[in-house]
Amino acid sequence: MIKIKRVYDKPARTDGYRVLVDRLWPRGVARASLPLGTWLKEAAPSDELRRWFKHDPARWPEFQRRYRLELEAHPDSWASILVGARRGNVTLLYSAHDVEHNNAVVLRDFLNAKLKEVS
């Protein structure tokens, strides 16, 4: 199972393997204090796409489309997440304030669709 959670939220035992999926390290979080399996910044949107989006909900549909294209073009950036999800829980961590319009939502949905393709 692939879940998402804000990086600032308290960790839970049910999180399983925790993966930070932001390109930039979250503000105000010390690296040593974040319970984390790995940081896959390569799985995050490109700097160009991130800057274009600016977390503007009006750009959400186009952001999703562009980000999915980036993900399809770079399966090596997210393949390890699928491997982990087949073994147990994986939680994708993100720092955005908007819980509905962020890269982790798109990545989770994209990866869950990939899991269903193989099943």
The upper half-sphere exposure of residue 32, i.e. CA atoms within 13 Å in the direction of its Cβ, equals 0
**Domain chopping of the chain, boundaries:** 2-118
d(CA 106, CA 119): 20
pLDDT tens digits, one per residue of 75-88: 999 999 999 999 99
pLDDT tens digits, one per residue of 24-71: 999 999 998 899 999 999 999 999 999 999 999 999 999 999 999 999
**Cα maximum dimension of the chain:** 40
Percentages helix, strand, coil for the chain, rounded to the nearest 5? 50, 15, 35
With H, G, I as helix, E, B as strand and everything else as coil, classify residue 3: strand
- Per-residue pLDDT band for 117 (boundaries 50, 70, 90) equals confident
- Per-residue pLDDT band for 119 (boundaries 50, 70, 90) equals low
Q: Identify the residue with better confidence: 117 or 78.
A: 78
